[in-house]
Structure 1
Amino acid sequence: MPQMMPLNWLFLFMLFMLTLLMFNILNYFQPVPTPLSTMLHMKTTVYMWKW
């Protein structure tokens, strides 16, 4: 099997690094659901206990 040229290794390295960087950037800016927003959408039932 022939050896790859150094330029090809550099291109491959840059491709993987850019892919990793883009993946991390896109995941960083995704909105994370907070417990407060999930609590607002839940249906709550209030029980009035009469002792």
Structure 2
Amino acid sequence: MPQMAPLSWLNLFIFFIMIFMLFNVMNYFSLIYKNNNIKKDTKKSIITWKW
């Protein structure tokens, strides 16, 4: 491909790998996880069955 002659294939490969890594890092750190350590004040209701 004569259009690609000025570019080195190694530079092109590194360029795409860096874009791929940047995309993955941005997706990884953009997630907001819910904090599940907060204990809820729930009262257990005891149901007494009267048959």
Q: Deviation of residue 45 (structure 1)?
A: 5.5
TM-score of the two chains, using structure 1 as the length reference: 0.54
List structure 1 segments (4+ residues) > 4 angstroms apart after TM superposition: none
Structure 2 gaps of 5+ residues are: 1-6, 47-51
TM-score of the two chains, using structure 2 as the length reference: 0.54
> Aligned pairs, how many?
39
Check 1:36–1:17 CA distance in 2 against 1; reply closer, same or farther (3 A cut): same
Query: How large is the Cα RMSD of the aligned pairs?
Result: 3.1
Check 1:8–1:32 CA distance in 2 against 1; reply closer, same or farther (3 A cut): same
**Identity over aligned residues, as a percent?**
5
Higher helix share: 1
Structure 1 gaps of 5+ residues are: 1-5, 47-51
State which structure, 1 or 2, has the greater radius of gyration over its C-alpha atoms: 2
